[in-house]
Amino acid sequence: MRVGSLDTFRGFIIVMMIFANFGCGNYEYLNHAIWNGLHFADLIFPSFVWIMGVCIPISLASMFKKNLVNRELMLTILKRSAKLFLLGVFLGGGVDLSYLRIFGVLQRFGIAYLVVSLICILTMDRSSPDIDSEIDEPSRLKLYFSDILRTYVGWIFVIIITALHTIIIFSVAAPGCPSGYLGPGGLHQNRSYQNCTGGATGYIDGLILGNHRYQHPTIYRVYEARPFDPEGVVGCLTTILQAYLGVQAGVTLLVYKKHSERLFRWLLWGIGTGLAGGALCGFSKEDGIIPVNKNLWSLSFVLVTSCFAFTFLSLCYVLVDYKKLWTGKPFLFAGMNAILMYIGHEMTENHFPVRWYPHNEYSEDHRHTHYNALLSDTWGAAFWLFVSYYLYKIKYFLVI
């Protein structure tokens, strides 16, 4: 099935990801939060993980119709995950083998896709997701909770994985650091925990990855913190939850045919995840049990950004598929070639005509204002929109 709002959602997110990678016009409140907190750019990556999750049950449903056995399905999933992971290493790994970055954005996509897809293959019912085809007179329970009844076994695995993440961050203590520390280390709190960047997350990632992690984190320029990888190993655990929340939205789309039924459930999930995330962070930036933190991919971060994703998909669905007030263009084009846009952007990010500055940003007399930066960054994102339109016209769509 092809739902216009899904491509529109994905297209908007990939264009905003490109805009954010360029720098968001150097506006601090649009760029990533230094540590705790949630800025505009922090919504992009998790939303992309979430919409990937939405598409997993839709893709698997079409595979189930072909009567493929689990071994064939798993092999297909494994190949795609490996391609994403290796592409990520190629794009962001660097050339110094002693510091080759192993984990990154596409690598995290690949891992989340692999784990969540396997959970779906092993736990989801292969029968038609249409509730009308299941029983002649569906019980009230099946009528209202048919989508959850199809995912609840998978939820057991996802909750266990999420609980494991929570246990790790609150019980594992790095040498010289208190257990449960979630701060940036470095200059934070007068250097009290200078070598504790990211707490258990940073410590375990360091043990596993060593020098093969991100060496220049954003927090360095503020806290002079040690190397920390925002797309490391431990954060993959909560990324699985993020993707599975997307799976839940995708199953709802498959099971229910009425617009009102889909929207009601998406908005209910949006409210639920938003309130749960808010409760964990204490509805504040610093004072909650688990602060909203993109670098750590904290549980509250997953829930709050999933709230945004559920709500934004509902808005796109109303405009594009329900009321048909908008075709989704031009973001629709980008959404149909999102991976190609990301790869192309990563490979040409610092090359003309994709990016340019009216003055030399390194010269002493330059005037690299917000206006100039915003103009350049907006052009960079628009450039790839034009490319996506051209690819749509020639009917070229990259499938990995």
List b or e across 88-108, with b for residues whose CB sees 16 or more CB atoms inside 10 angstroms: bbebbbeeeeeeebbbbbbbb
| Closest of 25, 42, 45, 24 to residue 33, by C-alpha | 42
Strand partners, 36: 293
Q: What is the DSSP string of 276-322?
A: HHHHHTTTSSSSSSS--BTTTT-HHHHHHHHHHHHHHHHHHHIIIII
SS3 103: coil
- Number of Cβ atoms within 10 Å of the Cβ of 69: 8
**Measured between alpha carbons, how far is 150 from 243 in angstroms, rounded to an integer?**
16
SS3 102: coil
Active site residues: 32
- Phi and psi of 36, rounded to 5°? -70, 155
The residues, any chain, with a CB within 8 Å of residue 84's CB and separated by 6 or more, are 106, 107, 109, 110, 113, 400
Burial class of residue 176, CB neighbours in 10 A (0-12, 13-18, 19+): exposed
**Helix boundaries (H) for the chain:** 4-22, 44-65, 70-92, 105-123, 131-134, 140-171, 188-191, 199-209, 220-223, 235-255, 259-280, 299-317, 331-335, 338-348, 370-393
- Is 214 in contact with 228 (CB distance < 8 Å)? yes
